[in-house]
Amino acid sequence: MKLRIGTRASALAVTQTRTVATVLERLGIDVTLVEITTQGDRDRSPLRRIGGQGVFVAALRDALVNGEIDVAVHSLKDLPTQPHEALVLAAVPPREDPRDAVVARDGLNLQTLPRGARVGTGAPRRLAQLRLARGDDLTLVEIRGNVDTRLGKVHRGELDAVVLARAGLARLGREAEITHTLDPTEFVPAPGQGALAVECRRADESVVRALAQLDDPRTRAAVTAERAVLAELQAGCSAPMGAFAETTDGEEGGQLTLHAVVAAVDGSASVRLSTSGSLGEAERLGRELASALLAEGASRLIEERVT
């Protein structure tokens, strides 16, 4: 079998796609990488102004639907929760570290950063949780750009710290620059953070079957629960919410504990809940946790668009 795999052109995306390509090659599949530029890469304005939902994903999906590529590899956290009628999420490979990380000057961490320290991030979820942790103590600076650009701002002294996904740093071999890894039950990651999404056309049944070999059922269950929270909240990837599931071995094939937080971007209020159940109940656990969050006033927090 020969497959054309589409990827965004960023260093992180290409690295992620290569790991998928390597596994497919080991399974005896011929692969070629096709680089696709997405609107999210071209347009440097804040994501919520471009329209947030799926800007990194749309161009790859178009190429898949048009037949320019056979497989698309995305960061799962960038993938909208709404299913695409012609496409299928054929595999969710084993997850990298899902936690957020601080890269700060002088080995500082979230607690030791001085009052007024300039901390860069663009994600409302991170802005909200930074404010929950430190109130108005930090000067939050909206940044975007690839991982290298963001780290450069700390190394050049433009910022005191940035908050990034640990997974991205690990994949690029830059974990050594991390000064603080945040507890995911407190500073809750984005749904699907650290996981990859491998998509193909639903109609390509032999490709669907081949890609299924890459699927990790535990990661699949964890991200299913996390994304169900997001879907039930009717929120997109730019919502000030986090959801994180940990899986453990147990009777009847494993257990899952799901943590979620919804916060006002200004840090003035938040709702935080957790639940547990078996891996097979992932979707339901996520939906029910979201309903419980809504009952505690989550929708009001999501709608407040203060930054």
Catalytic residues: 78
Q: Give phi and psi for 98, each to the nearest 5.
A: -80, -5
8 part of the interface to ligand PBG, by CB under 6 A: no
Interacting residue with ligand PBG among 38, 193, 219, 270 (CB under 6 A): 193
167 part of the interface to ligand PBG, by CB under 6 A: yes
65 vs 143 by CB, closer to ligand PBG: 143
CB 163 within 8 A of CB 121: yes
Strands 139-141 and 180-181: unpaired
Rounded to the nearest whole angstrom, what is the least distance from the CB of residue 113 to ligand PBG in the complex?
Answer: 18
77 vs 131 by CB, closer to ligand PBG: 77
Q: Which regions of the chain does DSSP assign to beta strands (E)?
A: 2-8, 30-36, 71-75, 87-91, 100-104, 118-120, 139-141, 161-165, 180-181, 196-201, 241-248, 255-263, 270-278
Interacting residue with ligand PBG among 164, 233, 235, 285 (CB under 6 A): 164
Q: Which regions of 29-99 does DSSP assign to beta strands (E)?
A: 30-36, 71-75, 87-91
Interacting residue with ligand PBG among 6, 120, 168, 242 (CB under 6 A): 168
CB 131 within 8 A of CB 142: no
288 part of the interface to ligand PBG, by CB under 6 A: no
Tokens representing residue 52 in the block:
């947030």
73 vs 207 by CB, closer to ligand PBG: 73
Exposed e or buried b per residue across 58-69, where buried means at least 16 C-beta atoms within 10 angstroms of its C-beta: ebbbebbeeeeb
Rounded to the nearest whole angstrom, what is the least distance from the CB of residue 298 to ligand PBG in the complex?
Answer: 22
Going by C-alpha positions, the residue among 193, 158, 139 that lies closest to residue 150 is 158
| Contact string (CB under 6 A) for ligand PBG, positions 75-104, x = contact | x-xx--------------------------
Interacting residue with ligand PBG among 120, 191, 194, 267 (CB under 6 A): 194
54 vs 194 by CB, closer to ligand PBG: 194
Number of Cβ within a 10 Å radius of residue 138: 21
Q: How far is CA 69 from the centre of its chain?
A: 23
Rounded to the nearest whole angstrom, what is the least distance from the CB of residue 209 to ligand PBG in the complex?
Answer: 25
230 part of the interface to ligand PBG, by CB under 6 A: no
Which positions touch ligand PBG (CB under 6 A)? 75, 77-78, 164-165, 167-168, 193-194
